[in-house]
Amino acid sequence: MKWSVFSLSQIPDLSRVTEAFDEDLVFFQEAEAQGYDTVWIAEHLFSTYGLVTSTQVLAAAIAKATSRIKIGTAVVVIPFNHPLRTASDFALVDVLSHGRLLFGAGRAYQPHEFVGLGVPMEESREMYAEGMDIVVRAWTEEKITADGRYWQIPQPVEVLPKPYQKPHPPIYQACISPESFQTAARAGWHLQLASPFTYRTYREAWIDKLAENLATYERECERHGHDPKAGERMMLLPFFVDESDEAARRIYRKHVEWFYAKVTANQQALPGQAAVIKGYEATMSEIGKTVAGGYLSFDKLHKYGAAIAGSPATCAEKLNVLRERLGITEFTLWFNIGGMPLEHTMRAMRLTKNEVAPQVEALARKQAAE
């Protein structure tokens, strides 16, 4: 098992932006000191939902503030930048970190970001496919040209530097829809799974739906000549641990509900947009049912395992359910959701590594030996 941490740099109080980013770096350094495998970061625009406007900037800062821990992106939004810029910037991050980059990519899902940048949201899937092809070719070929629908490279261009890792950094696909799992399988990419997104679409059936999509992924891997068990299955989870179930839930509740209120508002179509945008039919059509049914209350999130908060024994039990059912190889735990104070984050991170992880790993070893 791998154990990782995640930060969206959510800063509800904008008077604390500088201080909060300083605290994030302390958090990342402490994660490295405690032996966590990866720090995962994400990018968002135009909202306190997340103040990291470019993962390459923060990833470069983390590269210089740490020395061992992997640096993962969850995710780089491919449609929002020229893919040659994306390839160049992240090759440089890989060099600066001496090969610690894990490149997670996706196509974004918040309408206001597409509107703000003037990018057609309904074409994001096609832009993602075209952009990723350019990124991978730029990393692995000496010079490239392209004549795509969205980006043209008429004369041979050499992207420098090339990544430190050869042939390129590990690539992770953010997966919610069946189409995303199929894309990852065809390319042989690792998987990024995330309870906040899958749960908002499928509610109490979210684990069953993930299992169904993973079965499709495995069949598609085999069809395209890839080992379906070779890829990493990283899962992002809102997660908090304290000495007792009551204490953990009391501390974590308001921060989780702040996040879900913010993401629900940010996922709504804007005036002039279709209520359900092409390529986002499942997520945008289901979110209304999720909200109306009260599924984003902390109690329901916790009931269905989409947000975990409890004692070390409770948390280990819930993680083992996911590990066994879905074949998770890496838990990426979101301690500092919704502006969680640093002292609570650090305590939960230590308890997880010292008391939760050993219980999960012990059961995994026992089951493997049986």
Per-residue pLDDT of the chain (370 residues; tens, 9 = 90+): 999 999 999 999 999 999 999 999 999 999 999 999 999 999 999 999 999 999 999 999 999 999 999 999 999 999 999 999 999 999 999 999 999 999 999 999 999 999 999 999 999 999 999 999 999 999 999 999 999 999 999 999 999 999 999 999 999 999 998 999 999 999 999 999 999 999 999 999 999 999 999 999 999 999 999 999 999 999 999 999 999 999 999 999 999 999 999 999 998 888 888 889 999 998 899 998 999 999 999 999 999 999 999 999 999 999 999 999 999 999 999 999 999 999 999 999 999 999 999 999 999 999 999 8
Going by their DSSP bridges, the two strands 144-147 and 101-106 should be labelled as unpaired
Q: Tell which CATH architecture fits domain 2-369.
A: Alpha-Beta Barrel (3.20)
What is each CA distance from 44 to 75, 100, 116, 136, 175, in whole angstroms? 9, 22, 12, 23, 18
Q: Cα–Cα distance between 169 and 182 in angstroms, integer?
A: 21
Q: Token match 């109306």: residue? A: 292
**Is residue 310 helix, strand or coil?**
strand
Q: How many residues does the chain have?
A: 370
Q: Cα–Cα distance between 61 and 68 in angstroms, integer?
A: 14
Q: Which residues, 6 or more positions from 244, have their beta carbon under 8 angstroms from its beta carbon?
A: 311
What is each CA distance from 319 to 1, 171, 360, in whole angstroms? 11, 24, 7
